[in-house]
Amino acid sequence: MKTLLKYLTFFCLVAFVAGSVAATPMATKEATDKTLSPYFFVKSDDPSTDQLPLKSTSANVSISGVIADVAVTQVYKNTGKRPIEAIYVFPASTRAAVYGMKMTIGKRVIVAKINKREDARREYEQAKKAGQSASLLEQQRPNVFQMNVANIMPGDEIKVELKYTELLVPTDKTYSFVYPTVVGPRYSNQTAETAGEADRWTQNPYLKQGEAASYAFDISVKLAAGMPIQKIASTSHKISVQYNGLSSAKILLDTAEANGGNRDYILNYRLDGDKVETGLLLSKGEKENFFLLMLQPPKHVNADQMPGREYIFIVDVSGSMHGFPLDISKKLMQNLLGNLRPTDTFNLLLFSGGSSVLANQSLPATPSNIAQAVQLIERQRGGGGTELLPALQRALALPKTKGYSRTVVIATDGYVGVETEAFDLIRKNLGEANMFTFGIGSSVNRHLLEGMARVGMGESFVISKAAEASAQAERFRKMIQTPVLTQVKLDFGKFEVYDVEPIAVPDVLAERPIIVFGKWRGEPKGAITMSGIAGDRKISQKIDVRGTQASQDNEALKYLWARHRIALLSDYNALRPDDKRVAEVTDLGLKYNLLTAYTSFVAVDSEVRNASGDSTAIKQPLPLPEGVSDYAVGGRAYAAAPGMMPMSRQKKADMALAYEKHEVKRSAGPVLDSVVVSEAALQERIARTVQSRVKELHGCVSSAISGKVVLQFEIDRNGAVKKLKVKSSGLNNAAADRCIFEAMEKWQFAALSADTSVRVTLTISF
């Protein structure tokens, strides 16, 4: 039965590779050329093993002022007949400071301890082998965690609770608490052989599109705002609100949302009179004292003259964007492009496995150029891998428009595993530009999106519903065209502070408080002064330190400061094993009892419960985030293009068996046999473009498949591919044909001088 399950799993991986429209060349390798791809869950018919051990996940949230404290409880139960190890990948807030964990077995409660990652893993593995129940919490990304629970015996119910805290910062006077519920499938082009241990989590099973999670979901929130509450609402889930006076409330999840764990839980609230929490919070400890300063900037100013800007729009059109997410992206881009000013210039880059640009340099924002860009986006359907780094490199290398301020805008769900590399690339190459990110979907990778914006000195937006696209686009325009506060400086006066983060306050682009963390010595005294430029005038604000009392209620400040410091060390730079920052992050995690990339929580029961030490490892399958299609996991590999025969069951089985036996190799590459162009004068130019693009088809065909493909299409006056059809194919493989077909649909040629089209016939050998 294990062999069958393994066989089916490999088949899903093969289908994903074979069906991807991402035609990224791959080196010819032997069997080790298996990528870290997610795969569809195939339930075994073996009743002795429980393959769905996670029974429920819930969160109890307590919000006091601007600090949220969250307790997450996961319940695992083994309804099978064999001991199992449950492995569950789940998300968390990008701001979460995880400071505690405990495991409950019956009446026994085991409090977890923090340890170096490798030591915690070693202790866990030893306990598992010895037959002791144990749990291990590891950070795979700052917003992606993995829970391992070993030796869950038949009939066992084991509860694991983790606790974290985070800071809530209002934007435009609205507070938002976001609780992520599911990790979306991550595209990776790494091979299983070369990938590090921290990247292997991407090989996770997923349920099919529309399938509800196998576990129950619940969340409750106690809100003590400290000021009268004006409005509470959720844009993601049905809730019920029970008010307790003017400034506190309890928010419960509607019973109809038991399967609501396939999208981020978003709770928004505003305070009466549109007030926000500002001022100074102090915490006094035995060895260290911490402070948090929140200052509200002035309102947006109206600039009399707004200089022209250059916009580089980067749009993700990969497989995970197919359907609902790409539809939202189209509406967003129509709005952003349609509202450019005549003084602006712009360019458009689309990416999946490869990338294409609208023009070699930015174009004036004329109606015809905007219409051309909108048409290009409208033709996209979504498919293929998500090669973010090459797309960013290409966009950042585009020549700048002289005398214009550049703004880079990227729209994506962020389902990639190269967060750190992207941050480092942006930091090193962005220059004087700003980067803004739009997360598209119900469960986006907020770590990537917020990190890119932070490194790019911009802001991050999330659009989970089509109706939000216009409002978010308007927020972006308002923000970029009229900054709130520039040249911000802080003077702490007689208040003795150190380890202050951030060192310098960047320009304030939104009506959002300025946040500064740090430590202090001595007695609180003096005043803190903030100064800056708002429009054409200087402003300043003062906060009295002497009148502020330290409170035990602010104990979370030490976790928040340490988490912020860890984020700066981890997010902005590509960390390497010999880097001093690794040691610093590790020390911070151990000192402040925090989960990091290099520290983990481990809990081990002293009782030996599984004498043999043998158990079956089960990866908990995850639901696809709401609105995400099977294309994100390669489900599109089975869909044939119009007029093509679907892949036979025998062919699928042959491919799976070849992969199982490590016999699948990539082809040596496509060979362009001939290019026939209806306009002789354009023959050489079009042939050169085809020759440069045909290598992108390399990933569509394995070495086990060979034959010639004849394709016909037209190039319209804008250089776009139209009326593409497969005239004949000798590959006898629907997935390969469709991959070639959809990759070529995205090809872009140079615009034609005449208002006409050109017919092209290609013959390609594989």
Higher pLDDT, 672 or 398: 398
The pLDDT of 301-320, averaged and rounded, is: 76
Mention every residue, 6+ apart, whose C-beta is less than 8 A from residue 599.
114, 115, 116, 117, 120, 586, 589, 590
Higher pLDDT, 38 or 245: 245
The distance from CA 294 to its chain's CA centroid, rounded to whole angstroms, is 28
Tell me what percent of the residues of the chain surpass a pLDDT of 70: 84
The pLDDT of 540-546, averaged and rounded, is: 89
- In the numeric block, the tokens 């492009």 are attached to 337
Contact 70, 178 (CB under 8 A): no
Which of 258-267, 426-435, 526-535 is modeled with the greatest confidence? 258-267
Please tell me the number of Cα atoms within 13 Å of 536 on its side-chain side. 5
Q: What are phi and psi of 137, to 5 degrees?
A: -110, 120
The pTM for the full model equals 0.67
Beta strands, E only, 476-556 = 486-491, 497-501, 514-520, 527-534, 537-544
Mean pLDDT score of the chain, rounded to an integer? Answer: 82
Lowest mean pLDDT, pick from 50-64, 244-258, 406-420 = 406-420
Which of 3-7, 238-242, 331-335 is modeled with the greatest confidence? 238-242
Higher pLDDT, 215 or 447: 215
If you write DSSP's letter for every residue of 191-257 in order, what string do you get? Answer: BTTT--GGGGGGS-EEPPTTPPPSSEEEEEEEEE-SS-EEEEEESSS-EEEEE-SSSEEEEEE-GGG
| pLDDT at residue 652, as a whole number | 37
| pLDDT at residue 661, as a whole number | 35
Segment 645-681, tens digit of pLDDT: 333 333 334 433 333 333 333 345 678 878 888 877 6
Question: In this structure, are strands 309-316 and 345-351 parallel, antiparallel, or unpaired?
Answer: parallel
Segment 164-196, tens digit of pLDDT: 999 998 887 899 999 999 998 887 767 766 666
With 50 as the cut, is the pLDDT of residue 58 above it? yes
With 80 as the cut, is the pLDDT of residue 33 above it? no
Higher pLDDT, 402 or 270: 270
Which of 414-423, 489-498, 541-550, 623-632 is modeled with the greatest confidence? 489-498
Q: Give the CA distances from residue 167 to residues 48, 140, 275, 342, 669, in Å, rounded to whole numbers and listed in that order.
A: 45, 22, 17, 41, 52
| pLDDT at residue 662, as a whole number | 32
Contact 290, 518 (CB under 8 A): yes
CB atoms under 10 Å from CB of 671, counted, come to 12
Would you say the C-alpha torsion 360, 344, 414, 138 has a positive or negative sign?
positive
The pLDDT of 327-344, averaged and rounded, is: 89
Question: In this structure, are strands 309-316 and 265-271 parallel, antiparallel, or unpaired?
Answer: unpaired
The pLDDT of 742-760, averaged and rounded, is: 77
| pLDDT at residue 5, as a whole number | 45
Q: Which residues pair with 439 in a beta bridge?
A: 412, 462
| pLDDT at residue 578, as a whole number | 54
Per-domain residue ranges of the chain:
2-36+634-765, 39-273+608-619, 309-481
At residue 400, the 3 state secondary structure works out as coil
With 70 as the cut, is the pLDDT of residue 641 above it? no
| pLDDT at residue 424, as a whole number | 79
Higher pLDDT, 751 or 759: 759
| pLDDT at residue 306, as a whole number | 52
CA angle 62, 89, 632 (to 5 degrees): 115
Lowest mean pLDDT, pick from 32-46, 265-279, 281-295, 591-605 = 32-46
With 70 as the cut, is the pLDDT of residue 259 above it? yes
With 70 as the cut, is the pLDDT of residue 755 above it? no
Segment 447-470, tens digit of pLDDT: 889 888 888 878 899 998 888 888
Tell me the Cα Rg of the chain.
27
Distance between CA atoms of residues 280 and 514, nearest Å: 12
The pLDDT of 44-52, averaged and rounded, is: 83
Which of 12-16, 37-41, 520-524 is modeled with the greatest confidence? 520-524
At residue 310, the 3 state secondary structure works out as strand
Q: Where are the alpha helices (DSSP H) in 416-574?
A: 419-429, 446-455, 469-481, 557-571
Closest CA to 147 of 105, 88, 206, 102: 88
CB atoms under 10 Å from CB of 426, counted, come to 24
Confidence of residue 309 (pLDDT cuts 50, 70, 90): confident
Segment 122-174, tens digit of pLDDT: 999 999 999 999 999 999 988 899 999 999 999 999 999 999 999 998 887 89
With 60 as the cut, is the pLDDT of residue 4 above it? no
Lowest mean pLDDT, pick from 95-104, 397-406, 617-626, 731-740 = 731-740
At residue 492, the 3 state secondary structure works out as coil
**309-481 in CATH: which number?**
3.40.50.410
| pLDDT at residue 497, as a whole number | 95
Q: Give the CA distances from residue 112 to residues 59, 99, 123, 182, in Å, rounded to whole numbers and listed in that order.
A: 19, 10, 12, 24
| pLDDT at residue 277, as a whole number | 76
Q: Give the CA distances from residue 710 to residues 731, 760, 763, in Å, rounded to whole numbers and listed in that order.
A: 11, 11, 5
In the numeric block, which tokens belong to residue 4?
Answer: 């069958």
Segment 354-376, tens digit of pLDDT: 888 999 899 999 999 999 999 99
The pLDDT of 287-310, averaged and rounded, is: 75
Distance between CA atoms of residues 499 and 515, nearest Å: 14
Contact 731, 645 (CB under 8 A): no
CA angle 309, 312, 317 (to 5 degrees): 150
Confidence of residue 9 (pLDDT cuts 50, 70, 90): very low
Architecture of domain 39-273+608-619: Sandwich (2.60)
With 50 as the cut, is the pLDDT of residue 547 above it? yes
The DSSP output letter for 622 is B
Contact 757, 714 (CB under 8 A): yes
| pLDDT at residue 571, as a whole number | 55
Distance between CA atoms of residues 295 and 475, nearest Å: 21
Helix axes 649-660, 2-19, angle to 10 degrees: 110
Confidence of residue 715 (pLDDT cuts 50, 70, 90): confident
| pLDDT at residue 651, as a whole number | 38
Q: What is the spatial order of strands in the sheet that 84-91 belongs to?
A: 113-116, 599-608, 132-141, 144-152, 84-91, 616-619
